[in-house]
Amino acid sequence: MVFFLRGAVICLMLSEGLKAESREGADLQSAGAGWVAARSSVTSSGGRWSAVTCVRSRSGRSRPCSACLGPPSAPSSSTAGRTRGEKVENKQSPLSQEDTRVDISRLDLRVGRIITAVQLPETDSLYMKQVDVGEASPRTVVSELAKHVPVEQMQNRMAVVLCNQMPAEMSGVVSRAVIMCACSPDKVEILDPPSGALPGDRVTFQGCSGKPDKELDPENKVWEQIQPGLRTDGHCVATYKGAAFEVVGKGVCKSQTLSDSEVK
């Protein structure tokens, strides 16, 4: 009788245990995570191969292992060598001192002598001149002075010449320099160098000691930035921001009658 009762108790305990496991399995399955997942994968760590396991928790969340994440990606060439949070800056090479300096010392202004001047055929305003600026041969210069200066006053005349403007074609003739003049709305006068100045003498400016460009690049607009500062003063002396056009040791450059006027 005792053995029979013990057997019945054991069967009842086993039955209750199976029911409990069944309920727990159902609960876990309904929660979506009551089983141990799962997959075994192989990864390399420290140069040795080992098995790792990705286990899903009872809450339904899983913590991926290195096999799930895969090997760490190599840094791209654009980010290699940078620490986290470091900003990438596009570094541009600084402008040279020559590029940043914009003053009248970049203009090659010299004393010149107009050897001959003739009016260009089929034009009513253009003179073609041969000008000595201290070089081996004279330069051809075309300018719109025919309406302002009689041709007889253009012969063998001293002038101030801009020598590093880019050559420009005018009425089929390439002009290789510019004659500097004082201008008003109704009058134009060629600037006169000081007495005793010779072709090729440099025109300088106090406070501007740089060297002139070999040739002014139109894209840099150097002339356009400098020209607004060119004027004659109350005594007809040509100036740049108040500094006189000067030939060292010989004097200043002047207009004949135009004071407080634009120079170009």
Is the pLDDT assigned to residue 58 strictly greater than 50? no
| Mean pLDDT confidence for 41-52 | 42
For the stretch 235-252, pLDDT in tens is 999 999 999 999 999 999
DSSP-assigned letters across all residues of 209-257 = -PPPPSS--GGGTHHHHHGGGEEE-TTSBEEETTEE-EETTTEE-B-SS
pLDDT for 102 equals 86
For the stretch 92-123, pLDDT in tens is 444 444 455 689 999 999 999 999 999 999 89
pLDDT for 31 equals 45
Cβ within 8 Å of residue 139, ≥6 positions away:
130, 131, 133, 161, 163, 176, 177
Residue 133: both structure tokens together:
């600026």
Domain membership flag for residue 78: no
Q: How far is CA 119 from the centre of its chain?
A: 44
CATH number reported for the structural domain that contains residue 176 in this entry: 2.40.50.140
Angle at 107 between CA 101 and CA 108, to 5 degrees: 135
Domain membership flag for residue 188: yes
Domain membership flag for residue 109: yes
Nearest alpha-carbon partner for 174 in 204, 209, 139, 221 = 139
| Mean pLDDT confidence for 187-199 | 97
Domain membership flag for residue 33: no
* Mean pLDDT across the chain: 78
Domain membership flag for residue 242: yes
pLDDT for 209 equals 87
User: Which residue range is the domain that position 181 belongs to?
Assistant: 99-263
Q: Which helix (H) or strand (E) holds 52?
A: strand 48-53
Is the pLDDT assigned to residue 18 strictly greater than 90? no
Number of domains in the chain: 1
Domain membership flag for residue 18: no
